[in-house]
Amino acid sequence: MNINPISKFIKKDPKDFTKADIVRYIEAKEVKMVQLLFVGEDGCLRKININVHSKSFVDQLLTWGEMIDGSSVFPSSSRTKSTSIILLPRLSSSFVNPFEPIHTLNFLCSVHTHSGKNLESSSEYILKKADEAFRMVTGMEVRFKSEVEFYLYGKDDFDFSNQLQNREYTIAPYSLYDRFTHEWMSKAAQCGVLIQKGYVKGNYLKKNDHLYEQHVVELSSLSPMMAADQLTILKWVLKNCAHQQNLKLSFAPVVDIDGKGNDLIIHSQIVKNGKNQMFSDSKLNSIGRTAIAGYLFCTPALTAFGNSNALSYFKVNRSLNQYHNLFWGNERRTAPISIPQRCTQFEELYNDLNISEKPIPKKKYHTPFITHKTSDFSSEIYLLLAAHLISVRHGFEMEEALKFAESHYVDVDINLPEYKGKYKYLVPLPSSCFESADELSIRRKIFEKHAVFPTDMIDNIIRNLKKVERSDWDEMIQRDHNLCIELIEKNMDC
């Protein structure tokens, strides 16, 4: 039951929208403005406002797009003779903007050169190429679902702060900002974002006369492009809703020296004809292990796309997350790559709890994902998911992938005293943006293969990472506590 107003009016899923459908909606609902949204080379969401003049004007806009000067938002394009770019609306991405005072229709756009070719430095095009390369190499496709963590904060509520506890899944009035959940979930759903669930994480902290509360949102399983689109729109919706409620919101990897950070967890699943290919009889098979091998080999370089903020490495160095070493396991909280276990007895549980119903037959229901936990929302989403696709694909292109995966499997908690020293051979993950840049330099040919990432873009990513403060957090906290706080504050808004 999609509550996207356009879907409800047209009676179609967004993926089936046609130009005629959109024109009919604009005409029937007297839409006054169209906004073209696109992601710049820096990962920021941008927009162009266009007044709706007539039916023929809308038809022309949806067909030919809109030309703008892209020199400031796509500096790489300025190396060519023309800096003009074309924004071409993607019909399936359309939604009604819930934050505008007049009826406004928004579209995410693909970005093209003045001659109509895809712009090489457009992150949306890079993701598209990564998806196509994966399908070409494997004959299968990847679907992603994601979990986003964020902190809401406002002026300290002294009545509430007197009873602060870290309680997950709390409900108002025991949660400070639980009622905010209904606001943003409703707005995001109107924008076509398919949310699986949202809840209070329950991590609280007090800082600078403000009270912080951590929340989580989980999105549904989607194709790579739809997953990136929806994460981009979700981020924009959350920021807008917080602003309307006079609250602040941060996706920063760390918001306080002693507080728990925010993660962006990516779950991936390989499918063919709609069926999960990674498991046979509820057990991880060779396809799943091959994908994990690719993840294991590429994850040190993958951090260059998923951890572009100096605070990303604060978590590693200060143990605010537990992902220090490169390995995988089943349901291992300390493993950066894991396979969450799923219940296989749903029918028995359902029949036991609902005795008034006729018993339902036993079916094979097992759709787990590979869970990758090292990223945060400081990343450029389209490039991050492209890097994930490339990492998984590399498993199918590397030699002895199954042997490599097996050698990195750990089935115990490596932080327990009895296992200390047993796994010294495990490779540590990068501890700074500088180290992530070095790892990308080593593995860059994997990301450039099949012409997915342009060479100059990899150069720019490495160059920008090496500009970030190379901080030894433990030493900084001991030497200059205030400098550490200053660096956290500077990186809060991401």
Residues facing residue 195 across a β-bridge: 219
Cβ(127)–Cβ(224) below 8 Å: yes
**First-to-final CA distance of the chain:** 32
pLDDT tens, per residue, the chain with 494 residues? 567 899 999 999 998 999 999 999 999 999 999 999 999 988 899 999 999 989 999 999 999 999 999 888 888 665 555 688 999 999 999 999 999 999 999 999 999 998 889 999 899 999 999 999 999 999 999 999 999 999 999 887 766 666 666 677 888 878 888 888 989 999 999 999 999 999 998 788 888 888 899 999 999 999 999 999 999 999 999 999 999 999 999 999 888 877 678 999 999 999 999 899 998 877 899 999 999 999 999 999 999 999 888 888 876 655 544 567 889 988 666 788 998 766 566 677 777 777 777 776 666 555 689 999 989 998 999 999 999 999 999 999 999 999 999 999 988 877 777 777 777 778 888 988 889 999 999 999 999 999 999 999 999 999 999 887 665 655 666 667 677 777 788 878 77
Domains and CATH numbers, the chain: 5-121 (3.10.20.70), 128-490 (3.30.590.10)
Render pLDDT for 276-285 as a digit per residue (tens, 0 to 9): 999 887 789 9
* pTM beyond cutoff 0.95: no
Backbone angles phi, psi at 431, to 5 degrees: -110, 10
Report pLDDT for 477.
60
Cβ(202)–Cβ(167) below 8 Å: yes
Report pLDDT for 476.
64
Report pLDDT for 320.
45
Residues 466, 437: Cα–Cα separation, whole Å: 7
Report pLDDT for 335.
84
Q: What does the radius of gyration of the chain's CA atoms come to, in whole angstroms?
A: 23
Residues facing residue 214 across a β-bridge: 151
Mean pLDDT estimate for the chain = 87
Report pLDDT for 368.
82
Cβ(268)–Cβ(287) below 8 Å: no
Report pLDDT for 1.
58
